Amino acid sequence: MSLIEARSLYKTYELGAHKLNALDGVSLTIEQGEYIAIMGPSGSGKSTLMHIIGCLDTPTSGQYLFKGRDITSLSDLELARLRNAEIGFVFQSFNLLARLSTFRNVEMPMMYAGRNRSEREHKVSAALERVGLSGRRNNRPNELSGGEMQRVAIARALINEPAIILADEPTGNLDSRTGVEIMKLFDDLAQQGNTLILVTHDAGVARHARRIVHMADGRIDLTVGANPAPAESLAGPLGSAQSPSPAPRPLTPDS
């Protein structure tokens, strides 16, 4: 079973008499442990696809399976629970709660998941250590740099050990040096076996991924890099992270 299976996704918006297909028949399979970038110009449908992958939105037609489960059958409450447990989001604008400290921002998804206080203290401290923010645990977002805020968001995205981390233009609001540091952090997370999906219009960011899916006008028009075998066919719990990274292939039409 693949972690994510999208088949013939359409997302259609009615604009007066005109219909716009923000997604125009997208099929995509993502295996556990993959490091993948969804690339394409502004308006090509990247965020629309990311919202469906992240269970924030549903397609107008087509099928979307998350861990083999058809998410269109879930209620809003079930979807919210699934997002909190299985998906870590990182956004361009960080989306931190301004009145809460670093610690409290990272703790929030564990509160929703009903984790007890000692477990929260332990795991949040470990997550802050992992992103290099142990010394900033009591600061609010307005006391942090952009790079530090994005590290808080990454720690928050990781805290419930989600099945996937979805990052939409994660370096878009950062200077280039800080962007490089944040990409180093994503590379480390991928190396450790996390499943990462980067959404970006920046080829320099996309290059970090092992597979690049390129979108134009609501369709996937090119894929670079291999789609690995499903994770269960590989030895070890880290799935494809333990397989040799595929050599980049020439551009081929996506099948």
Q: Please report how close the Cβ of residue 161 comes to ligand ADP at its closest, in angstroms.
A: 27
Q: Which CB sits closer to ligand ADP, 92 or 125?
A: 92
Residues in CB range of 154: below 8 A, 6 or more apart: 90, 131, 165, 182, 185, 186, 189
Residues in touch with Mg ion (CB under 5 A) = 47
In the list ligand ADP, Mg ion, none, the entry touching 44 (Cβ below 5 to 8 angstroms by class) is ligand ADP
Q: How far is the CB of 8 from Mg ion (least distance, A)?
A: 22
* Interface residue list for ligand ADP (CB under 6 A): 13, 20, 22, 40, 42-48
Q: How far is CA 222 from CA 46, 135, 158, in A?
A: 14, 43, 30
Select 47 or 195, whichever has its Cβ closest to Mg ion. Answer: 47
Of 47 and 102, the one with the shorter C-beta distance to Mg ion is 47
* Amino acid identity for residue 152 in this structure: V
CA nearest neighbour of 20 among 222, 217, 221: 217
> Could you tell me the smallest distance in angstroms from the CB atom of residue 89 to ligand ADP?
15
What, of ligand ADP, Mg ion, none, does residue 230 touch, CB below 5 to 8 Å by kind?
Answer: none
Cβ proximity of 185 and 196 under 8 Å? no
Identify which of residues 156 and 214 has a Cβ nearer to ligand ADP in the complex.
214
Q: Distance (Å, rounded) from C-alpha 179 to C-alpha 188?
A: 14
